[in-house]
């Protein structure tokens, strides 16, 4: 298996989750009320799965190794665009969280902002995923021999193995440590 395999599988789950989120946003828009749990679940998914787990493997492993290669100018440009898009996704997710917090404090004027930020994310990711799947992943694999690909794939699995521990150590540090 090539390292792009797991990344593309992750893309399929991200697409399904965002499609579901967009349906929830349609309901929020119609009802004019926000179920904060839906936003929390979507944000947790985007931050933990799409960004930290998926983008983590891209940025900390694939892009790191590609930076050591003599990439074509076009692939270098696409890689930088992808990095910039990852940053945009993080900022937009943070803005969604902030809008939801203000809404829960009683500022009902945040409702359109919640809808807007969620729609921005829901519209952004399919295009981002298509760029990775169709313009970037396949050409990049040509830069790695079989041994490099096998090493990268093993590093992906190790990265995933550590993620659950990273997530729940952060939960403890943020919410529970001060309770003891």
pLDDT of residue 179: 61
Q: 3-state SS string over 19-72?
A: HHHHHHHHHHHHHCCCCHHHHHHHHHHHHHHHHHHHHHHHHHHHHHHHCCCCCC
Q: Is residue 48 part of a domain?
A: yes
Q: Do residues 21 and 42 touch, judged by C-beta distance below 8 A?
A: yes
The verdict on residue 180 lying in a domain is: no
Number of separate domains in the chain: 1
pLDDT tier, 7 (very low <50, low <70, confident <90, very high otherwise): very high
Residue corresponding to tokens 């699995």? 157
Residue 46 belongs to a domain: yes
Q: Decide which of 176 and 96 is more confident.
A: 96
Q: Could you tell me if residue 52 is inside a domain? A: yes
Q: What is the pLDDT of residue 175?
A: 76
Q: Which residues, at least 6 apart from 54, have a Cβ–Cβ distance to it below 8 Å?
A: 7, 10, 11, 14
- pLDDT (average), residues 83-105: 97
**Domain-located, residue 158:** yes
User: What is the pTM for the complete model shown?
Assistant: 0.90
Return the pLDDT at 174: 78
Percent of the chain predicted with pLDDT > 90: 89
Domain assignment of residue 60, given as a range: 4-166
32-50 pLDDT per residue, tens = 999 999 999 999 999 999 9
The average confidence (pLDDT) of the chain is 94
Confidence band, pLDDT 50/70/90 cuts, at residue 163? confident
What is the DSSP-derived secondary structure letter of residue 143? T
Inside any domain, residue 156:
yes
CATH number at residue 92: 1.20.120.520
Is residue 71 assigned to a domain?
Answer: yes
Asked whether residue 20 is assigned to any structural domain, the reply reads yes
């Amino acid at each position: 298996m090539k390292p792009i395999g797991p990344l593309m599988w992750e893309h399929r789950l991200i697409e399904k989750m965002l499609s579901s989120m967009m349906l929830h946003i349609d309901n929020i828009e119609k009802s004019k009320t926000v179920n904060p749990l839906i936003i929390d679940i979507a944000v947790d998914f985007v931050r933990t799965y799409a960004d930290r787990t998926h983008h983590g493997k891209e940025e900390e492993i694939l892009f790191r190794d590609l930076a050591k290669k003599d990439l074509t100018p076009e692939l270098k440009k696409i890689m930088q665009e992808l990095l910039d898009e990852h940053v945009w996704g993080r900022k937009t997710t943070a803005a969604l969280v902030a809008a939801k917090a203000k809404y829960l404090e009683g500022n009902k004027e945040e409702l359109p902002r919640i809808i807007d930020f969620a729609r921005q994310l829901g519209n952004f990711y399919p295009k981002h995923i298509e760029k990775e799947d169709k313009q970037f992943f396949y050409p990049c694999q040509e830069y790695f021999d079989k041994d490099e690909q096998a090493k990268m794939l093993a590093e992906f699995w190790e990265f995933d193995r550590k993620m659950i521990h990273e997530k729940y150590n952060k939960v403890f540090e943020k919410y529970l440590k001060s309770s003891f």
